[in-house]
Amino acid sequence: MISRTKTYRGNVVHHNIKTNDMQNLIIIALISCILSSCNTSVQKQIHEIKNEQIINVIGHSGFLELPLIFDANNENSLRNTYNVDFKGNDTLLFDTDIYSIIGFLPDTTDYYGFLFHTVGDMLYPTLMTLDKKGNKIDRQIINATGCAGHFSLDVTSCYDSVWIHRDLTIKSISRVIGTVDSEDIPEQTLNICNMRRLDGLIEKNGRIKLTRSEIIDCNEMNNK
């Protein structure tokens, strides 16, 4: 009789342990479900805020009229249409070094694309693409950059022309003309004429594919 009672009590204890374990598993499962739902809800909310903000920025900035042709070496050839608000929802979309937007690319199905300036030795025209959720796909400077960084060169003239075509192909040609003093003895003044070329396109997935040439001596080209 005593052994049966002990066995019965042992079973009760064992049953209680199993019940407690099951309750703990249910609680953990419920907490995980709640946290997962919260995370999904937050992600959905951020996605909706990004979409709303992109539409808002496009409404202020507008679309670029293509083909777009400009001289990147002329700071007045492009006009900013929207100033980035670092205290608002713009920070969800734009890098911290993007201060203003020139305009958005028209007729893009799977991504958004916009033009702005990257600040450096010059104002570099730059394209950035975002997916439809507002996440960055790509960012590239789209001029040949032949007019920047000539500290030892006495520049006579320089242009850096950029074309963005309706089919979203990109071309840029830069040419710098000037003089530089040689290190020879006696010192000589050399005439310099350098060219660079850039070709590329924006792919359907929003990736920006560019090819840049090496420096081309246009004096040699003229002599051919």
pLDDT in tens, 64-89: 999 999 999 998 899 999 999 999 99
Torsions phi, psi of 117, nearest 5?
-105, 135
Nearest to 203 by CA among 127, 100, 144: 127
The 3-state DSSP class for residue 216 equals strand
pLDDT in tens, 165-212: 999 999 999 999 999 888 777 778 888 899 999 999 999 999 999 999
Q: Global pTM?
A: 0.76
Phi-psi region of 46 (alpha: psi -120 to 50; beta: other; left: phi over 0): alpha
Nearest to 168 by CA among 102, 81, 109: 109
Residues 158, 174: contact at Cβ < 8 Å?
A: yes
Q: CA-CA distance, 190 to 184, in Å (whole number)? A: 11
